[in-house]
Amino acid sequence: MDIEAGQAAPEQGRGPRVAGRLWPPVRTGLAWSGAVAYPFVTYVTFDHGQQGFEILMVLASIALTAVVVSLLRRRPLPALVFLLLGAVTATMEMRKTEVSYLQIFVGVCAVGCLAATRPRRTSVAAALMAFTAQLLSLFAFPPDGGCDPTAGVPPEGMVNGCAPSGWVSNNGETVAFIAVALIAAWMVGSSSRERRAHAEALRSQATARAITAERLRIARELHDMIAHSIGVIAIQAGVGSRVIETQPAEARNALTTIENTSRETLAGLRRTLVALRRPESDAAMDAELASDRDDLTPREPTPGLADIDRLVASALDAGVRVELRWPGGHEPLPADIDLAAFRILQEALTNVVRHAGTESCRVSVERRAAELSIEVEDGGRGGLPAGTGFGLVGMRERVALLHGRFTAGPRPEGGFRVAALLPVPEEGR
C-alpha cells in the first residue's frame, strides 16, 4: 500500500504542472479565435442595431474589442488588422456619422498606443494601415448624407442628395481630419515613448554612477585602512626579526604593535563589511556581531582628526618621528570632512614610512575661516617609486568629492609634500 501511495503521489502532482503548461497556449488560441470572430460579431451587432441594439450582442462586441486590444501588446499589426476590420464592418452596415467617427476614434487610439509602446517602424506601419482602412471606408461606405461615388447622378445634378462640389469639399475635409488625427496621435505616443526611454537611460546612468562611486569609496576606505596597517606591520616585523636575539624586549614591543595594529585593522574591516551587508538583514548582522564580540575589539566610531595622536604613535613605532603643528582649538568638523582629513593624513604618513627613507616629517593641520588646511612634508627621497599603488589617487578623489584642492609632489629643497585644502561649510564652523 505504501508503494502504491508513493507511486500515486507524483501522478497527482503532475496534473497541476501539466495544466499550467497547457493553459498559456490555450488562452492564446482562444484570444486569437475571438479576434477572428470579432469582425463578424461586430457586423451582426450593427446589422441588428438598425432596428434596435440587443444588449447581449453589444456586450459580446465590447468583450471581443477588449480581447483584440489586449493582443495589440503581443502581435500589434495582426491585432490591428482585426480591430480595423471590425470598425470597417460597423461602418459598412450602419452608415451613420457617429459610427464613422467611432471608427476614426478606434484607429487613432490604437495608433497612439502602438506609438507609445512599440518601435517607430511598427507604429508608422500601424498609422499607414489605419489611414488606408479609414480612407477606403470613407469612400466605399459614406455615411448618410454623404456621397457614394459608385451611385448614378440624378437628373438635378445631385449625387446621393449632395452636389458634386459639396461631396468633394466634405470628404476632403474628412480626409484631412483623419490624417491630422492620426499624425497627432502618433506624435503624442512617440513622444511618450521617447520620454520613457530617456528617463530609463537617465536612471540607468544614475545607477551606474552610484555603483561606481560606492565602489570607489569602498576601495579608498579599504586601501587607506589596510595599507597603513600593513605598512606598520611589515616594518615592525622587520624590526622584530632583526633584534629578536639581541634585544628581546624590543622584539616584544614590535610584536605588541603588530598585534594591536592587526586587531584595529580587523575591527575596521568588520565595520566596513557590516555596513555593506546591513541593508540585507540588520538582525542577522547584529547577531553576527554579538557572536563575534569576544574575538574582536569593541566597535569604534568613525575615525577623525581626534585620532591623530594614534597616527603619530603608529608612525613613531615604525621609526618616523612626526612633528605635529596644530594651532588653534580643535573645533568639531562635519563627519565627511573629519574622515577625509584623517584618511589623507593616514595615507600621507604611510607613504613617508614606506617610501621616504627618512626618520622625521612635519604635519600641519590648520583651521581657517572657511577651510581646513592639511600639509605633510618630509626631507626624504623626494618622490614615490613607480607603481606604488593608489594612495595619491585616493587622496585626490577624497578632496575632489569635497570640492577642495589637492597637490602632491617633490619639494625644491628636497623631500616630498602633500597639501590639501578642504572647504568647511557654514554649519560646520
Q: C-alpha cell of 251?
A: 622584539
Give every strand in the sheet of 416-423, ordered side by side: 321-325, 360-367, 371-378, 416-423, 405-410
3-state secondary structure of 360: strand
Phi, psi (rounded to 5 degrees) for 373: -105, 130
Cα 33 to Cα 23, 30, 38, 71, 82: the distances in Å are 15, 5, 9, 11, 11
Confidence at residue 419, expressed as pLDDT on a 0 to 100 scale: 92
Tell me how many degrees the CA angle 135-140-146 measures, rounded to the nearest 5: 90
| Residue 115 in grid coordinates | 506609438
- Tell me the domains of the chain and their CATH numbers: 14-144 (no CATH), 305-429 (3.30.565.10)
pLDDT value of position 4: 47
Identify the residue whose cell numbers are 585644502. Answer: 421
Please give the Cα distance from 340 to 267 (Å, whole number): 19
Letter for the amino acid at 99? V
Which pLDDT value is given to residue 58?
A: 80
Report the pLDDT value the prediction gives residue 289, as an integer from 0 to 100.
Answer: 45
SS3 content of the chain, % helix, strand, coil (to 5): 70, 10, 20
Other CB atoms within 10 Å distance of the CB of residue 322: 21
Which three-class secondary structure state does DSSP give residue 145?
coil
Question: Which one-letter amino acid corresponds to residue 92?
Answer: M
418, three cell numbers: 602633500
Per-residue model confidence (pLDDT) at position 262 = 81
**Own/partner pairs for 53-62, CB < 8 Å, 24+ apart?**
61/86
Contacts of residue 129, Cβ cutoff 8 Å, sequence gap at least 6 = 77, 80, 81, 84
Provide the sign of the torsion angle of the four alpha carbons 247, 252, 253, 255, taken in this order. positive
In angstroms, the Cα distances linking 212 to 216, 279, 359, 362, 366 are: 6, 18, 38, 35, 32
Contact between 380 and 357 (Cβ < 8 Å): yes
**How are beta strands 360-367 and 405-410 bridged, if at all?**
unpaired
Q: How many alpha carbons lie under 13 Å from residue 232 in its C-beta half-sphere?
A: 31
Residues 383 and 368: beta-carbon distance below 8 Å:
no
Question: How are beta strands 321-325 and 360-367 bridged, if at all?
Answer: parallel
- Written as one letter, the residue type at 306 is A
- Helical segments of 141-277, H only: 164-243, 248-277
Q: Hey, what amino acid is at 170? A: N
- CA dist 81 and 33 (Å) reads 14
Q: In 15-139, at which residue ranges do the beta strands (DSSP E only) sit? A: none
Which residue do the cell numbers 508503494 mark?
3
Spans of the chain below 70 pLDDT? 1-23, 49-50, 144-171, 228, 275-301, 328-329, 383-389, 427-429
Q: Count of residues for the chain? A: 429
What backbone phi and psi angles, to 5 degrees, belong to 75?
-125, 85
* Torsion on CA atoms 159, 162, 168, 169, rounded to nearest 10: 180
CA–CA separation, 398 and 403 (whole Å): 9
DSSP symbols for 309-336: HHHHHHHHHTT-EEEEE--S------HH
| Listed residue (255, 290, 252) closest to 274, CA to CA | 290
Cβ proximity of 96 and 144 under 8 Å: yes
Q: State the pLDDT at residue 362.
A: 92
